[in-house]
Structure 1
């Protein structure tokens, strides 16, 4: 199974698409992710570079996650936020 880039997201509902600046940020993250991966493949024998690249890729993953959360918060509609039922069943 081929490795999937972690910044891909499906378009299920166009009204829930992230803002254009967030889409551009995701595209930049995907480009950096791919470049780091190809650079890592060329320099697998250098442990210091490999560790540095792995660290940078983890930082990109965290940044992508934060951008994804920001996008979700921006797109939240009031009917999704207000719930009448509790999230957890009350313990007896």
Structure 2
């Protein structure tokens, strides 16, 4: 499957496979989507959440070691101006 097709798989709010894999801490799937499919590690949802937002919102931290070396923006802002670090502070 081509990366373009994978980017289009998701719900109406733009939550795709990479966001979901990051949210549950699925390291193997995140690595596959980034390395084999070439997905953007900073891909945003309708509410401007990147995979890092999803990861920290679900109290996971393993995926950050994969996303950042693949070029993920370490401090993207959501539609409410929150960064992944802000969300980590709230959910911790």
Q: TM-score range by the shorter chain?
A: under 0.3
Greater helix content:
1
Structure possessing the higher radius of gyration over alpha carbons: 1
TM-score, with normalisation over the residues of structure 2? Answer: 0.23
> Whose relative contact order is higher, 1 or 2, with alpha carbons under 8 Å and at least 6 apart?
1
Q: Give the alignment's TM-score, normalised by structure 1.
A: 0.23
